[in-house]
Amino acid sequence: MTGAGRTTAPNSNGLALFTDLYELTMLQAYFEEGLHAPAVFSLFVRRLPQRRNYLLACGLDTVLEQLEGLRFEASDLDYLASLDRFSDRFLRWLEGFRFTGSVRAVPEGTPVFANEPILEVTAPLPEAQLIETLVMNQIHLQTVQASKAARLVTAAGGRQVVDFGARRMHGLDAAVKGARAFHVAGVTSTSNVLAGKAYGIPVSGTMAHSYIQAHHDESEAFAAFARLYPETVLLVDTYDTLEGVRRVIQLGDELGDDFRVNAVRLDSGDLGALARQAREMLDDAGLQQVGIFASGGLDEYAIGDLLAQQAPIDAFGVGTSMGISTDVPDLDIAYKLAEYAGEGRLKLSSGKPILPGAKQIFRRHQDGLFAGDIIGRQDENQPGEPLLQPVMREGQRLPAHTRDLDVLRSHTAHQLEQLPPSIRAIEPADTPYPVSVSPALQAHQDAVTRTVRARYAASGQGTHGGNAND
Amino acid sequence: MTGAGRTTAPNSNGLALFTDLYELTMLQAYFEEGLHAPAVFSLFVRRLPQRRNYLLACGLDTVLEQLEGLRFEASDLDYLASLDRFSDRFLRWLEGFRFTGSVRAVPEGTPVFANEPILEVTAPLPEAQLIETLVMNQIHLQTVQASKAARLVTAAGGRQVVDFGARRMHGLDAAVKGARAFHVAGVTSTSNVLAGKAYGIPVSGTMAHSYIQAHHDESEAFAAFARLYPETVLLVDTYDTLEGVRRVIQLGDELGDDFRVNAVRLDSGDLGALARQAREMLDDAGLQQVGIFASGGLDEYAIGDLLAQQAPIDAFGVGTSMGISTDVPDLDIAYKLAEYAGEGRLKLSSGKPILPGAKQIFRRHQDGLFAGDIIGRQDENQPGEPLLQPVMREGQRLPAHTRDLDVLRSHTAHQLEQLPPSIRAIEPADTPYPVSVSPALQAHQDAVTRTVRARYAASGQGTHGGNAND
């Protein structure tokens, strides 16, 4: 580590033990066997789910921050010692553990496809191995979330989408990181106050049924809330949606020019029909400026249906479907050794091919749209924009890597505009986005496969009493 | 707060802002309107998913700990002030905010059904309101997780199930809390080291393909790992599963009495066929003591199929399907105002009935099995075991509430044994578990509905210039 550009070492983030036990048992084996040559690991998604024409890479910022703060604390080492599997020598080595490797990655908010490396780590084998669980967990989560959110934003066709998912998302971390991933993907704001504080995301919210219920009179509740928050959104479906709208209009009559309510919120029933009736009632009352906000079990398909029937809805609150990505809550993500000690590596397990070595994605542009990708070797030249960029070197984040959410949002919006329309669409594309492997990478994979096969065939006659290979 | 039984106040856990913005805007309105009478909120799941015959309540311990440590920190208040929505008076009030309410709850590891309150909170309205997002998030997550895990444990029919889910679970919190929820539900151990440290859950793990790949010779890798961890599990599918098994047998020949390898792990291919062949090879070599561990995309259906074809598998490693509960990643969970200022409350929104007031679940037992539940009013007597127990009073956890994971595991195992076999089964039950509403609760619901309807009809003529109702 050079220390350049950093004045103080980050504190431990308490995440060194966020790893699978086998990473640590392997680390001790690497330590004992002296296996600490540079390794390259690739993180990629093996195949796209049927309901995703593309994925939106997300989570890199989190990962870089977490790698910078990875330390084994005294209590971590005490715990590991209590497991009776680790030697004192190894635990002392862990005490000094730092991530000193390099990371190349696709920028957050960039569409990626099957087998394309979202990031590649180059580091001494034990370092690259230890971080597997953490890196996969964070990139998987946020890529799942951003990919889903982009579909909702697309379906909403320019109308605001607001994140209401915190209550049903899978835990605290998912809810906070999700709010950020959604915002990167184009979601306007979040109801999650902690996420607002953590990332500076705009926060928004209306009122709950319990507020109305705590009053004896819905009209009184509306009046009291609008007195305190003149530009609020009033929830009208606690007892009878259209009667609720009538009471909002009545409040408008009473307040006259002081009536500045922004919108009514519909949260149940036939949202399309209710929105049309509410719109008509509001317009008839001269309240054209009062918008209609819809929520309640919405996903991209429901939003698409509502807009196809021209429901006059101005904004959508989306919770569970986006928060958990309920239709595709997981991706077949993998973090695989691709090179060790300068040699390409792969496994031959059925149906799970690995592209060996450090790689690059080259994306061709044509007529303002993405026209196809080539996955090549890192050091080759192919036509198109190289997507993987250096973001961390010697364990330190590079200054070029942006953390500004507004910049990321603009980048993402511009990226999504460049997707071919059939790929950006909600429905499965008839033809997948074209991704090919370069001849050089294919030749490398063939050569490595031949070498691995030949070595495998030649070995297996015993352990030769030998040790590791480098 | 009495202070009895607590020597030091818990520190802030930094979670006061883990809430939806509307909770805070409502809180300020309650503050301005003087709405701070006692409220009762019920947390329940509206309906069971088609693939769940029962749910396993989980997450209570987390929630109680979080409620005890809920404080607004200076940086939280600064952030809220920056939003330009909250008065200084209100922010000063938040500064002194503590949760001082009571909680009654079903013990963790107890089966629950649709509309049954998993917990009920009784507290001044603002306190009970603020915690909605946090309480829902945590109980939802862990109930989803425990309910799924119980199905896997059932499918495995006494064989060990190990949690391998950390890398694809939704974030850090889900992975750590999940390991606990799975263990409560009967999962043997977790690969998640941080969860092991946090909760004392047994940790386990084997080796990854990358360890094998980093060596030139699979046999050398096996030998080196077994030297360091004599009772390890060796992963045999990196290149060729059955050849890998042959090499493990060869290692056994070489090591003789020093060979203490516990099992081989199969992670790809036709697990049933490979397990049978591996078993035969191991038995033929006199290695009956070497078990077979299977992993790779397993869920309760796959485990059921493998055991139905009598695959000789001794333990299962399960990742994504359990970790995310991919088939049912969310529940229709709700936290609803049921009583305020001594009066039952409900809303009339279509299709979302609320049972008013504080409630109790009475569970009848017959011939050692659960025979049916009655949801009644809290203060009534019905035959059967009352499930909701006091667990927190005046903001403090009651000592009777167990935190011992082994006790919880025994409780859960005993509870699951008492489920009727068709309800415990993996396949959807032909007849759901019987749950009824007591006549007294039904009468109360009818009376509250009539009152709410009548008030609603009589109101709506204007805001009367009035304020709140109590």
Q: Does A354 lie in the same domain as A301? A: no
pLDDT at B428: 97
H/E/C letters for each residue in A222-289?
A: HHHHHHHCCCCEEECCCCCHHHHHHHHHHHHHHHHHHCCCCEEEECCCCHHHHHHHHHHHHHHCCCCC
Residue A250 lies in a domain: yes
Measured in whole angstroms, the distance separating CA B413 from the mean position of its chain's CA atoms is 15
Determine the Cα–Cα distance for residues B384 and A167; give it in Å rounded to an integer.
Answer: 33
pLDDT at A469: 38
Determine the Cα–Cα distance for residues B111 and B57; give it in Å rounded to an integer.
Answer: 6
Q: Does A389 lie in the same domain as A256? A: no
The residue to which tokens 């060596």 are assigned: B215
10-residue stretch averages of pLDDT, chain A, 470 residues long: 44 93 97 97 97 98 96 97 97 97 98 98 98 98 98 98 98 98 98 98 93 94 96 96 97 96 96 98 98 97 98 98 98 96 86 88 98 98 97 92 89 98 97 98 96 89 44
C-alpha pair distances (Å), B428 with each of A167, B144, B331, B422: 27, 17, 16, 8
pLDDT at A201: 98
Q: What is the DSSP letter of B258?
A: G
Residue A7 lies in a domain: no
Residue A456 lies in a domain: no
Determine the Cα–Cα distance for residues B373 and B385; give it in Å rounded to an integer.
Answer: 9
Is a pLDDT exceeding 50 seen at residue B93? yes
Chain A residues 406-465 with CB within 8 Å of chain B: 452, 455-456, 459-464
Q: Does A114 lie in the same domain as A178? A: no
A449-452, Cβ contacts within 8 angstroms, sequence gap of 24 or more: A449/A346, A449/A348, A451/A343, A452/A345, A452/A346, A452/A348, A452/B239
Chain A residues 84-113 with CB within 8 Å of chain B: 85
Domain tally for chain A? 2
Tokens of residue B466, six digits: 């009035």
Whether A83 and chain B come into contact, CB under 8 Å, resolves to yes
B69-81: buried (b, 16+ CB within 10 Å) or exposed (e) per residue? Answer: bbbbeeebbebbe
Partners of residue B137 in chain A, C-beta under 8 Å: 166-169, 171-172, 175
Q: Which residues contact A113 (CB under 8 A, 6 or more apart)?
A: A48, A54, A55, A373, A432, A433, A435
Partners of residue A172 in chain B, C-beta under 8 Å: 15, 18, 137-138, 171, 173
ipTM (interface predicted TM) = 0.95
Q: Which residues contact A388 (CB under 8 A, 6 or more apart)?
A: A104, A105, A106, A117, A119, A120, A359, A360, A361, A378
The CATH number given to whatever domain includes residue A153 is 3.20.20.70
Distance from CA of B364 to the nearest CA of A (A): 31
Last residue of a domain, one of B325, B349, B366: B325
Determine the Cα–Cα distance for residues B370 and B106; give it in Å rounded to an integer.
Answer: 15
Nearest Cα neighbor of B327 from B184, B164, B151 is: B151
What is the interface size between A and B, counted as CB pairs within 8 Å? 393
Residue B3 lies in a domain: no
Determine the Cα–Cα distance for residues B107 and B407; give it in Å rounded to an integer.
Answer: 11
Range of B51's domain? 33-61+100-145+339-458
Q: CB A265: neighbour CB atoms within 10 A?
A: 23
When pLDDT is averaged across residues B193-208 and rounded to a whole number, the result is: 95
Determine the Cα–Cα distance for residues B371 and B365; give it in Å rounded to an integer.
Answer: 5
Say if CB B211 and CB B232 are below 8 A apart. Answer: no
Q: CB A75: neighbour CB atoms within 10 A?
A: 11
Tokens of residue B394, six digits: 């005046």
Chain B residues 196-255 with CB within 8 Å of chain A: 196-197, 203-220, 222-225, 228-229, 232, 237-240, 243, 246-247, 250-251, 254
Query: Is A344 strand, coil or helix?
Result: strand
Residue A457 lies in a domain: no
Is a pLDDT exceeding 60 seen at residue B422? yes
Upper half-sphere CA count for residue A118 (Cβ side, 13 Å): 34
Residue A6 lies in a domain: no
Determine the Cα–Cα distance for residues A124 and A38; give it in Å rounded to an integer.
Answer: 4
Distance from CA of B172 to the nearest CA of A (A): 6
Residues in a beta bridge with A391: none
Q: What are the pLDDT digits (tens) for B137-168?
A: 999 999 999 999 999 999 999 999 999 999 99
Last residue of a domain, one of B274, B295, B325: B325
Measured in whole angstroms, the distance separating CA B243 from the mean position of its chain's CA atoms is 41
Q: Does A300 lie in the same domain as A190? A: yes
Q: Does A305 lie in the same domain as A210? A: yes
Chosen from A91, A139, A211, A235 to mutate, greatest number of chain B CBs within 10 A: A211
Q: Does A316 lie in the same domain as A273? A: yes
Nearest Cα neighbor of B437 from B446, B424, B449 is: B446
Partners of residue A164 in chain B, C-beta under 8 Å: 20
Q: Does A252 lie in the same domain as A292? A: yes
Query: Is B174 strand, coil or helix?
Result: helix
Query: Is A139 strand, coil or helix?
Result: helix
Say if CB A108 and CB A58 are below 8 A apart. Answer: yes
Determine the Cα–Cα distance for residues A265 and B259; give it in Å rounded to an integer.
Answer: 69
By DSSP bridging, strand A359-366 and strand A385-386 are antiparallel
Determine the Cα–Cα distance for residues B319 and B322; give it in Å rounded to an integer.
Answer: 6
Tokens of residue B331, six digits: 């529940």
Determine the Cα–Cα distance for residues A106 and A83; give it in Å rounded to an integer.
Answer: 38
A361-369, Cβ contacts within 8 angstroms, sequence gap of 24 or more: A361/A106, A361/A112, A361/A116, A361/A117, A361/A386, A361/A387, A361/A388, A362/A386, A362/A387, A362/A438, A363/A387, A365/A418, A368/A418, A369/A418, A369/A419, A369/A420
Residues in a beta bridge with A334: A44
pLDDT at A468: 38
From the CA atom positions of chain A, what is the Rg in Å? 27
Tokens of residue A18, six digits: 């966020």
Is a pLDDT exceeding 70 seen at residue B83? yes
The CATH number given to whatever domain includes residue B125 is 3.20.140.10
Residue A75 lies in a domain: yes
Measured in whole angstroms, the distance separating CA B129 from the mean position of its chain's CA atoms is 22
Partners of residue B202 in chain A, C-beta under 8 Å: none
Residue A263 Rama label (left phi>0; alpha psi -120 to 50; beta): beta
Query: Is A445 strand, coil or helix?
Result: helix
Crossing angle between the packed helical segments A132-156 and A171-185, to the nearest 10 degrees? 50
A349:B191 CB<8 A:
no
Chain B residues 31-50 with CB within 8 Å of chain A: 32-33, 35, 39, 41
Residue B13 lies in a domain: no
Q: Binning pLDDT at 50, 70 and 90, where does residue B134 land?
A: very high
Q: What are the pLDDT digits (tens) for B263-279?
A: 999 999 999 999 999 99
C-alpha pair distances (Å), B118 with each of B30, B109, B129, B186: 26, 11, 17, 20
In sequence order, what DSSP letters do the residues of B271-311 get, joined into one string?
HHHHHHHHHHHHHHTT-TT-EEEE-SS--HHHHHHHHHTT-
C-alpha pair distances (Å), A137 with each of A3, A268, B174, B411: 28, 35, 10, 32
pLDDT at A9: 56
Written as one letter, the residue type at A331 is: L
* Percentage helix, strand, coil for chain A under 3-state DSSP, each rounded to 5: 40, 20, 40
Q: Does B177 lie in the same domain as B313? A: yes
Q: Does B295 lie in the same domain as B174? A: yes
Q: What are the pLDDT digits (tens) for B96-125?
A: 999 999 999 999 999 999 999 999 999 999
Q: Does B306 lie in the same domain as B158? A: yes
Upper half-sphere CA count for residue A409 (Cβ side, 13 Å): 16
Chain B residues 343-382 with CB within 8 Å of chain A: 345-352
Q: Does A223 lie in the same domain as A94? A: no
Query: Is B394 strand, coil or helix?
Result: coil
When pLDDT is averaged across residues B282-296 and rounded to a whole number, the result is: 97
pLDDT at B354: 87
Is a pLDDT exceeding 90 seen at residue B420? yes
B166:A137 CB<8 A:
yes
pLDDT at A447: 96
Q: What are the pLDDT digits (tens) for A13-49?
A: 899 999 999 999 999 999 999 999 999 999 999 999 9
Which of B219, B320, B455 is closest, CB to CB, to A330?
A: B320
Which of A137, A352, A459 is closest, CB to CB, to B171?
A: A137
Chosen from A42, A73, A127, A216 to mutate, greatest number of chain B CBs within 10 A: A216
Q: Does A303 lie in the same domain as A229? A: yes
Say if CB A60 and CB A119 are below 8 A apart. Answer: yes
Q: pTM of the predicted model, to two decimals?
A: 0.95
pLDDT at A12: 85
Determine the Cα–Cα distance for residues A267 and A315; give it in Å rounded to an integer.
Answer: 12
Q: What is the DSSP letter of A203?
A: B
Last residue of a domain, one of A265, A288, A323: A323
Tell me whether residue B210 is exposed, middle or buried, using C-beta atoms within 10 angstroms of its C-beta: 0 to 12, 13 to 18, 19 or more: buried
